[in-house]
């Protein structure tokens, strides 16, 4: 199977932020508003296989994606999720993190502790896939936020 996170057509539609090593994209099946993913550009199935440069750059890139996603969703709290391996719920064998902006009135609607158990199932079934038009609209706004806050992002 072709890796969707190595597919340039898919990435160019979904990306809202990137540098040499990492890319941030909007999730195809957003679980909450502002549900973004970020990942190394290089195809690795595990964060344990990151290069030294990737390990060094990871948290700073994470901070920037989180910042943009929170601005987008008008939220101040978030879940940061990494699923590695089949039993952990990893569906695409290219290491990636989920950022889920969380609000008191968000759509998760169940106990904040219990919801993670439901995450994999609900991510697939809660909504249908976004259309390309919906994605384009969202990406436009995310890119605008990234551009507007370029100075703040550089400092993260």
The residues carrying an active-site annotation are: 96
Task: Report, in Å, the least distance between residue 122 CB and Zn ion.
Answer: 24
DSSP string, 68-114: HHHHHHT-SEEEEEE--SGGGT--SSS--EEEEEE-TT-TT-S-TTT
Binding site for Zn ion (CB under 5 A): 3, 5-6, 43, 94
Query: What residues form DSSP beta bridges with 142?
Result: none
Quick one: 3 or 59, whose CB is closer to Zn ion?
3
Quick one: 42 or 122, whose CB is closer to Zn ion?
42
- The CA distance from 125 to 62, in Å, is 27
Residue nearest to Zn ion (CB): 3
Task: Report, in Å, the least distance between residue 3 CB and Zn ion.
Answer: 3
For residue 134, give the 3-state DSSP assignment: helix
Task: Report, in Å, the least distance between residue 147 CB and Zn ion.
Answer: 27
Task: Report, in Å, the least distance between residue 39 CB and Zn ion.
Answer: 8
Nearest CA to 25 out of 10, 38, 8 is that of 38
Count of CB atoms situated within 10 Å of the CB of 137:
12
Query: Which DSSP state fits 47?
Result: G
Quick one: 71 or 96, whose CB is closer to Zn ion?
96
Quick one: 5 or 78, whose CB is closer to Zn ion?
5
Query: What residues form DSSP beta bridges with 102?
Result: 77
């Amino acid at each position: 199977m072709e890796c969707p996170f190595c597919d340039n057509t898919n990435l160019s539609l979904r990306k809202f932020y990137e540098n040499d090593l990492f890319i941030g994209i909007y999730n195809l099946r957003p679980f909450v508003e502002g549900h973004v993913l970020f990942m190394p550009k290089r195809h690795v199935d595990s964060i344990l296989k990151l290069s030294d440069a990737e390990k060094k750059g990871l948290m700073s890139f994470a901070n920037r994606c989180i910042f943009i996603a929170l601005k987008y969703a008008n939220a101040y709290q978030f879940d940061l999720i990494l699923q590695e391996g089949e039993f952990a719920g990893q569906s695409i064998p290219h290491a990636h993190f989920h950022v889920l902006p969380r609000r008191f009135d968000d759509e998760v609607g169940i106990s904040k502790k219990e919801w993670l158990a439901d995450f994999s199932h609900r991510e697939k079934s809660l909504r249908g896939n976004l259309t390309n038009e919906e994605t384009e609209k969202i990406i436009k706004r995310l890119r605008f936020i990234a551009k507007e806050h370029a100075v703040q992002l550089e400092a993260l």
